[in-house]
Structure 1
Amino acid sequence: MTLPNFLHVGENGNPSQPLIVDINAGGLDPPSPKKSPHKQDPQRAARRAFDLIKHRLAEQWLQELDDKICAGKIAAKTKATGGVKIVWSKNLQVTAGRARWRKDLDKNKISRGEETEERHVASIELAEKVIDDADRLRNVVAHEFCHLATYMVSGVKNNPHGKEFKYWGSQCSKAFRDQNIIVTTKHSYEISYKYIWECVECGYEYKRQSKSVDINRHSCGICKARLVQTKPVPRAASGKVSEYQLFVKENFRRLKAEHSNLTHGEVMEKMGKLYRERKKEAAVTQRSNIDALTHQLDVVVLDD
């Protein structure tokens, strides 16, 4: 009979008291603690995966645009300065992208009376907070590429969205229609803000990328009323349930059933939007009731 290896066998073949086994001394692996499964937000995971490849994707897409639309002229003109630079910016707040271009000349050669070639310096600046997937990236880069083509190939510098830009835009849209590339004169992407505060009176929203609004110190700049945070909804202190939490409790199951194809995060975004709409409707109704009551108080009836 084979005995377990953690028992000490006496001379008579009977097991004596068990020995203390050091599981770290070798031979046995320490038991790994049970880890609770971590549910990762699919949207956040997709964003992280996109962040890993976005720079390389932008460079490859720009090269493909140049090769097919301009026969490589953009790359040729910027070769001496290292090509078109792709720059990701956290500071772009109102647009998805920006094209920059300038033309340099060798001043030393000019001072010596020698001939000099034009040096094209170009870059495309992309907004990190707006471009969060590959489709947006391709459309924004295509838009900015058309600006560079307008400057560097068409030679037009004072009409950024004129007929030359529209020509290059139509060429991109036709050539890459299968990739849903549509170049228009404006970017129509909405910036996704991490934090949103709303005025309890006028309903104006204050959107920020950082938690920079203190509801104890700040008030609405329009009507001076109190602000409440609506995204993400803060946890209620000392066990109190907030008005928004009650709203979620009453409406989540219905909203989830109506949008069963959406993720939890997407359902909560719709929940926040619905809550803000209801708040605005309630504020309008309250004002109407107050106006009606004020009117009634102003009317005085005198009986004979």
Structure 2
Amino acid sequence: MEISWNKRLRRQAGRTGFGKKNGVPYAVIDTSDKICNSADRLRDTLIHKMCHAACWFIDGEADLTHGLLWDYHCAMAELAHPDMPPITQFHTYETHYKVVYQCSGCQSRVGRWTASLNTEKYQCRICHSKMVLLNQT
């Protein structure tokens, strides 16, 4: 199994890929360097993704839907490590984007990693007003 950082993962903490080479199963776990920016986030993401990999290696099924097999492997991990936080289907990490735009109408915000939003063309998805660059760190 290969575990690596993926600079292109910007909205999800990680992803798991599966396959077989010459009949031998393998799994690849990619983690986001932007979202997994602390030891706790990395731990929680890796244990979640390793439960997906367990479904593949132990049961021969690529359970990407958080089904019964995935639930089973999560329960086994939680029994083995009761001091660890519960394994959840989705992360609730607050993402701190480098660039934030705000709607001039409804005040909703959109985060980006770069100042790539064309404010002349892009409109708010909620009220269709103009977006304005709020900050850039």
Superposition RMSD in Å = 2.2
How far, CA to CA, are the matches of 1:132 and 1:226 in structure 2? 32
Distance 1:145 1:229, change over 3 A: same
1:220 match: 123
How far, CA to CA, are the matches of 1:221 and 1:213 in structure 2? 11
How far, CA to CA, are the matches of 1:197 and 1:218 in structure 2? 13
How far, CA to CA, are the matches of 1:187 and 1:169 in structure 2? 15
2:4 match: 87
Is the aligned partner of 1:100 residue 2:5? no
Is the aligned partner of 1:139 residue 2:56? no
AA at the equivalent of 1:228: V
After superposition, the C-alpha distances for 1:61-104 in whole angstroms (9 at most, x for unaligned) are xxxxxxxxxxxxxxxxxxxxxxx111211211331111111112
Distance 1:162 1:214, change over 3 A: closer
Distance 1:88 1:159, change over 3 A: closer
Query: Counting strand residues as a fraction of each chain, which structure ranks higher?
Result: 2
How far, CA to CA, are the matches of 1:141 and 1:164 in structure 2? 17
Distance 1:226 1:186, change over 3 A: closer
Distance 1:159 1:99, change over 3 A: closer
After superposition, the C-alpha distances for 1:145-180 in whole angstroms (9 at most, x for unaligned) are 0001011102223564122111111121222232x3
2:71 match: 166
After superposition, the C-alpha distances for 1:97-127 in whole angstroms (9 at most, x for unaligned) are 111111122xxxxxxxxxxxx3222210001
1:42 match: none
How far, CA to CA, are the matches of 1:119 and 1:88 in structure 2? 24
Conserved in 2, the CA contact under 8 Å of 1:173 and 1:183?
A: yes
- Provide TM-score, normalisation by structure 1: 0.41
Distance 1:163 1:219, change over 3 A: closer
| Number of matched pairs | 136
2:88 match: 184
- Provide TM-score, normalisation by structure 2: 0.84
Identity of aligned residues (%): 28
Distance 1:169 1:120, change over 3 A: same
Conserved in 2, the CA contact under 8 Å of 1:172 and 1:181?
A: no
1:108 match: none
The structure whose Rg is larger is 1
Q: Tell me the CA shift for residue 219 of structure 1.
A: 5.0
1:60 match: none
Which has the higher relative contact order, 1 or 2, with Cα contacts under 8 A spaced 6 or more apart? Answer: 2
Structure 1 stretch displaced more, 195-204 or 183-192: 183-192
Conserved in 1, the CA contact under 8 Å of 2:16 and 2:53?
A: yes
- Give SS of 2:59's match: coil
Distance 1:158 1:225, change over 3 A: closer
Q: Which runs of 5+ in 1 are unaligned?
A: 1-83, 106-117, 234-304
